[in-house]
Amino acid sequence: MSGKNFLPFIIFILIIAMTSSCKKEASLAPDLQVSSASSATREIANESDRELKVMTYNMNSGAEVSGIWTSTSQAQLAAEVGKAFTNVQRTALERIEAIAHQIDIASPDIVGLQEAALWRVGPPLDPAPAETIAYDFLRILLDCLAAKGKHYSAISVQPHLDVELTAVFGTTPPLDVRYTDRSIIIARSDLQTSRFQIEGINAGTFITNTAVSLLGMQFTLPKGWVSADIKYRGKTYRFVATHMGGTYEPVNFAQANELLQGPINTTLPVILVGDFNSDAAAGTRSYSLLLNGGLVDVWNSLRPSESGFTWPLSADNPLVILNPSKRLDLIWTRGEISLSGIDMVGEDLTDLTLSGFRPSNHAGLVATLVLKP
């Protein structure tokens, strides 16, 4: 693979992805922006009770990857990569517009995003990294939100896996396809600094990560986190969004410990959101570790009689709709924060796109919290 990593991707048409299906109605800063407007009633209420609405959403990279991991030759791998990226082309714009619709309805103040993919393409077998943007999930999402009159900015962006492989598409010429996995925080950009002010940002990659083998080669699949210290109506708190990695519980346990020792090792009130890839419903070791670290599971605290299953909502084939069986996506708090409400989004059949796709194979969560004065 000579300096190029691997994972799901491919493409026969690149420029189509540069154009979002959402018409832009607001000018965005070159490096990302969006907006979420609240009603006057909510604005007045927030002034007195410091109500804060937070969200987490795994956007799902959109690639069909099962065939990639079972490839037994370079030719099969290239064909599977082509198949995976074709899936991205077929679903990305519709799904991201549906996710923007969920954010529009919920109007969160701050959002943690996982698998906010960046797909790029280039000439096949070119030793230089592919740089032509095919699909920038963040850019498309922000454009869709802007078209709805919402104003958000990207506060912190952390790349994780950055991999490139050659893909073949039958009669279409082959391409190199590059996938970059990212964790991102976006927040409203229409609030006055006297009410919402960023005091610091941080991001990192976990030291312990999942190792995999493909065609006899060993690879690491890095995951990590992003954080922001935010003063909201005079109260400073730390918002951390994470994507923990894989189904191997010892890796998740080590990553949970890194969160406790790293970004949430603070005296500030903490809000921790993300895809933890460890089934909270099963009471895993990593889930217990976070509980023992003083964190409060908002869903379990407010809706203990409901399963809260968030994954999988669909199979690799997005037209195959599934009933979720695991609670991987969570919102946690610690410190002087009261819990007001929590809801799941994107999980209803009424949320399907026109083509019958789920917005993501994960449900999103939205929680209403109150920062104590």
Q: What is the pLDDT of residue 248?
A: 83
Residue 209, sorted as left (phi over 0), alpha (psi -120 to 50) or beta, turns out to be beta
| Radius of gyration, alpha carbons of the chain | 20
Do the Cβ atoms of 177 and 13 come closer than 8 Å? no
Closest CA to 80 of 171, 170, 202, 160: 170
- Give the alpha-carbon dihedral of 110, 114, 116, 121, to 10 degrees: 160
Q: What is the DSSP letter of 316?
A: S
- pLDDT bucket at 195, cuts 50 / 70 / 90: confident
Residue 189 above 90 pLDDT?
A: yes
Question: What stretch of H or E contains 340?
Answer: strand 337-345
3 state SS of 168: strand
Q: What is the DSSP letter of 127?
A: S
Rounded to whole angstroms, the Cα distance separating 201 from 195 reads 18
- For the stretch 198-218, pLDDT in tens is 999 999 999 999 998 889 888
Residue 107 above 50 pLDDT?
A: yes
Q: What is the pTM of this model?
A: 0.88
- pLDDT bucket at 112, cuts 50 / 70 / 90: very high
- pLDDT bucket at 49, cuts 50 / 70 / 90: low
- pLDDT bucket at 21, cuts 50 / 70 / 90: low
Q: What is the pLDDT of residue 48?
A: 52
- For the stretch 161-185, pLDDT in tens is 999 999 999 888 999 999 999 999 9
Average pLDDT rounded to a whole number, residues 347-359: 97
Strand partners of residue 236:
231
- pLDDT bucket at 234, cuts 50 / 70 / 90: confident
Residue for token pair 């909510």: 42
Question: What stretch of H or E contains 251?
Answer: helix 249-261
Do the Cβ atoms of 59 and 115 come closer than 8 Å? yes
- Give the alpha-carbon dihedral of 124, 128, 129, 135, to 10 degrees: -50
Angle, alpha carbons 270-274-279 (nearest 5°) = 110
CATH architecture for residues 15-37+54-371:
4-Layer Sandwich (3.60)
Q: Domain segments of the chain: what residues? A: 15-37+54-371
The two structure tokens encoding residue 46 = 């927030």
Average pLDDT rounded to a whole number, residues 104-111: 97
| b/e per residue 142-159 (b: at least 16 CB within 10 A) | bbbbbbbebbbbbbbbbb
